[in-house]
Amino acid sequence: MNIVVLAGGLSSERDVSFKSGTMVAKALRNRGHNALVLDVFMGYSDAECDVTDIFEKSEENSVVVNDIPTEAPDIDAIIASRADKSPSFFGPNVIKICQMADIVFMALHGGDGESGKVQAAFDLYGIKYTGNDYLSSAIAMDKQMTKEVIKNAGVPVPEGVSLKKENRAGFKFDKFPCIVKPNCGGSSIGVTIVNDPADFDAALDAAFEWEDEVVVEAFISGREFSDGVIEYKALPIIEIAPKQGFYDYKNKYAAGSAVETCPAEISEKATKEMQKYAEIAFKALGLTTYARMDFLMDENENIYCLEANTLPGMTPTSLLPQEAGVTGMNFEDLCEHLIEVSLKKYA
């Protein structure tokens, strides 16, 4: 197959996306596919060009990345660096190349990549892609909306509220410690644990740097878990235990920063309950292909679902590949399987 592995973009997770895309492309090439890593924003070349044989030399035409930096990218500088200065999210030749592909493997994370916007555009252009449709992606991207939807379906969530930037003046939150985080962001960028009310405004500042709506919710002291779901079936649960602090951007992507245990060493009762909640949340959000649900569990085994990730990371330290590995599915198998699952949307 000729496959575009779409990565990059303009989210805070741009660099993470490139790492995912590089790993996926390598796996697909090992399976005999022509896999081209393409930056959705920068595109291919600065102008119209002949891309007829681009897949024949997919590896040399792909974006090449190094390791994930420990700091989030400077999005303004990236926008300024695009040669054609177009306001379009899609870079030069991106749509044309994606239309030539048998399928686009969505390695985008955060921002426009997971919000359903790219998926909706691809539907209009007749482009096949991996992952969920535009509507379920849009709902799951919104943390507060996700909480409301899955809570109505019987999945427990932390108590909290959303706050828009224009309503910030006079806003008070009286439950400390608490968590402040961007409503649609990922990779724990802009997230702050607030123990002292005096630090609350600074936490809002940090979150509002990334977007105009944030979520403020009660802090739950406990263990962190994640559970992937593929076609409504939960995978083995993984526990994430950062060696220092919480599971922030650095701990997510720096090798050795966290201890990840799969299957998680928890009771059978907690295992079944968490997997059940993952499957309920998946269905309630309208997801059909694959996703990953994040959880916290306190010392009394009370479980809380935090959010859904509709395009889970596919880096060497990512969680979904580790969970799939426990079932006997190696990384190459997983990449192939996610394509097969996604193509069922078009059957």
pTM listed for this prediction: 0.88
In the beta sheet, which residues pair with residue 241? 259
pLDDT tens-digit readout, 300-309: 999 999 999 9
pLDDT digits (tens, 9 = 90+) for 162-221: 999 998 888 888 889 999 988 876 556 788 999 989 999 999 999 998 888 999 999 999
What's the token pair of residue 205? 């500042």
Higher pLDDT, 277 or 74: 277
List, for residues 333-347, the tens digit of each pLDDT value: 999 999 999 999 998
Residue range 160-218, CATH number: 3.30.1490.20
Distance CA 132, CA 115 (A): 11
Cβ atoms of residues 267 and 200 within 8 Å = no
The first and second tokens of residue 12, run together, are: 């805070």
Q: Has domain 2-129 been given CATH number 3.40.50.1950?
A: no
User: Spelled out in words, what is the top-level CATH class assigned to the domain 140-156+221-346?
Assistant: alpha beta
Question: Strands, DSSP E only, in the chain?
Answer: 2-7, 34-39, 103-106, 160-164, 178-182, 192-194, 213-218, 223-230, 233-234, 238-242, 258-261, 290-297, 303-309
Nearest Cα neighbor of 32 from 62, 8, 74, 1 is 1
Quote the pLDDT of residue 247: 46
Q: Give domain limits for the chain.
A: 2-129, 140-156+221-346, 160-218
Name the token pair of 309: 């990730």
